Structures are given as C-alpha cells and as structure tokens.
Amino acid sequence: MTSAQDKLFRLIRPALFRFDPEAAHRLALLALKLGIFRGDHTPDDPILQTRLWDLDFANPIGLAAGFDKGAAITDRMLALGFGFVEAGTVTPQPQPGNPVVRLFRLTPDEALINRLGFNSDGIDAFTKNLDRRTARLGIVGANVGKNRDTEDAAADYILGLKAVWDKANYLVINVSSPNTPGLRTLQRKDAMTALLRRAQEALAGVSDGMSPPPLLVKVGPDLSDEEIADIAEVAKALSVDGLIVGNTTVSRPDGLTAKDRDQTGGLSGKPLFPLATECLSKMFAGTGGQIPIIGCGGVASGGDAYKKIRAGASLVQLYSAFIFQGPSMIPRVKRDLAACLKRDGFDSVSAAVGADHSNIN
C-alpha cells in the first residue's frame, strides 16, 4: 500500500468516525466496492507462502468473517493483499438482526463491541454475490449460521452449506456468536458431535463423490478448560478439517477506557488478544497439533500474527484492527511477520506453527 493510500485513509478516517459505527461500516464497504483504495501489488515475501487443505495461500493473513457479511467485496479485499477472505456470517433466510444501536466503537481501546445478531440478507443474495466473482482468483471462505428463531439448528446450517459448498474454498460453521440466543450451547460436546455429523453427511451427499471443501468450526474464546478438551476430542474423533479460535468475548478485560465499554455484546479488537491466544494455545495442545487452527482475535500487527502462529495457528485472521488502521496495515503486517520468521530462523510459516509447544513439536 503506497504512502498516498495511507494518507488517503488518514484523511477519510476522521470523517468516517463521525458517523455511527454501523453507518460508517456501510460507507467503508461502498468505498472499497468503488475501488477508492487501490490494490496492493507488492509481491508477498516467499517465506509467507503456505499450503493447507490442498490450497496454496500466498500469505497466512486473512480477513475474518463479519466485515463482508454478504460476500459483496471479496475480490476487492483480496486485492488489498489479504491471503484469504472469509465472508459471512450468512443465515438461510434474511433477518434484520438485533435492534439498533448495536455496534460500538471503543476508539481509545482499539476495540469494538457488537450485538448485531446475525443480520443477514440471506443465502440467496450471498450466493449470487459469490457467483458474480469473475475469475474466482484467491481463497474465499463462506461462514454460515442459523436464523434466530430456527429450532433445528443443524437444518439451517445444512441449508447454508449446501448452497455454498461449490462456491467457496472452505466452509465454516459458526457456533460461537454471543448475540444469537442459545447458539453457543452448540459448542457443548454432544450438541457439536450431532451437528457436525449431520453437516458432514450432508456435504458428502451433495458433493456426489467429489471432495467437498474443508469444513471448519468457529468457536469462542470464553471456553473453560473442560470445554476446550471436549471440543478437541470431538474435532479429532470426527476428523474435522479445522477450527477457528476464536470469536468475540462476552468478558471485559481490565483496562478498557472507552465510555461504551460496558455495552452488551461481543468484544473484539486489541483487548481480546491475550484471551483468544491463550484459548488457541490450549486448543492446539488439546488436539495434539492434529487439527489445523485459524487464529483470530485481537491481531493488530505482524508481531501479533507471529504470536498466534507460535501458539498453534496455521493461518491468522483480523478484522477490528483493519477498521482502526486501514488498508495500509495489511502490507505492514505481512512485512513484519516475515521479519519475525526470519529473525528466529524459520524458513516458512508452517515451520513456526506451534513453536511454543516444545512437547508437541
């Protein structure tokens, strides 16, 4: 990202931040869709290349779900330099989500609190946007959820998975948002086992002999040690393709200073980093490094990404930091991550995965 692009964001940010956060987000999506920010064409350092699930990632830095809920600008975000983009969370039927106001910007803390509640235009609009992708270059994931009032959660997830299985490079079941009543109970051992079995059977049926895309589960950072152990056991027993750790937190870490710090909802951004990374580390240990993990939560620098990788992440996602730092952060994160790897003598991202777990590696 050129210095001119950096200056452009610094010029635009104060104006955006005068708007309600949700309105500002809509304006940002429009600006990105119109191509106001040019793509980053600087080649990625070869040390950042990594291969996972038979997919070749130019770099391990991805955009987390939640930014592009409707899959409207996946190619634009890939052009900014992300190694992969995850769209969603999308629900089968359109739903408005929770009442506004429901998104809060904690600027002094570089954090967000949201209680959006899976606001979604529905799976039909989502798939149409994925179909509009021209060359389908770059890796795109599809993150699916359930409608708020659906009693048979698995049925909703299966509807979503069947609709997108041949339009995305990987699929994600989101069972960890704190803003849909009862959703996080699907992280419990028996419930997750039943859900994943039905999802895997559905994908095997719809793919008609072809290999379906990798199926991942997104879990939260507020898990107890027992819950982490249960999820790790289920993931190994059912040969889950991967986990995403974690989602937003309902806890409020010490030191928050913004006036909206006590709003109800899930907290994301810098203050989430220690909690999410500790959960990631425990999940890597619990799975014995056998299940690939995408580390998410609080990443704001190349050093943060490196810590996630050493804790056990094969790939890393960010979102909130992009809101506060803008597109110029992406090449900076990649450059600094490459420097961290070289400094410590690693010749690839995969060589550093789980480096903090000497008993596993």
pLDDT at residue 2, rounded to an integer: 55
pLDDT at residue 40, rounded to an integer: 73
- Catalytic residue, from 120, 176, 177, 281: name it: 177
Residue identified by tokens 């909130």 is 320
pLDDT at residue 135, rounded to an integer: 67
Give average pLDDT by consecutive 10-residue segment, the chain, 361 residues: 70 87 92 82 94 97 97 94 96 95 96 95 97 84 95 94 96 90 86 94 86 94 95 96 95 95 96 97 97 97 98 98 93 97 98 90 57
pTM of the model: 0.95
DSSP labels for 14-41? HHHTTS-HHHHHHHHHHHHHTT-SPP--
Tokens describing residue 165:
């299985």
Pairing of the two strands 215-219 and 242-245: parallel
Rg (CA), the chain: 19
Nearest to 267 by CA among 178, 329, 180, 188: 178
Rounded CA separation 72/133 (Å)? 9
Residue 194's H or E segment, with its range, is helix 189-206
For the question of residue 177 being annotated catalytic, the response is: yes
Rounded CA separation 349/351 (Å)? 5
Rounded CA separation 293/309 (Å)? 9
Question: Residue ranges per domain, the chain?
Answer: 3-352
pLDDT at residue 333, rounded to an integer: 97
Contact (Cβ atoms closer than 8 angstroms) between residue 97 and residue 265: no
pLDDT at residue 11, rounded to an integer: 81
3-state helix, strand, coil in the chain (%, to 5): 40, 15, 45
Give, as one character, the DSSP assignment of residue 211: P
Contact (Cβ atoms closer than 8 angstroms) between residue 60 and residue 83: yes
pLDDT at residue 361, rounded to an integer: 57
Instruction: Name the fold adopted by 3-352.
Output: TIM Barrel (3.20.20)
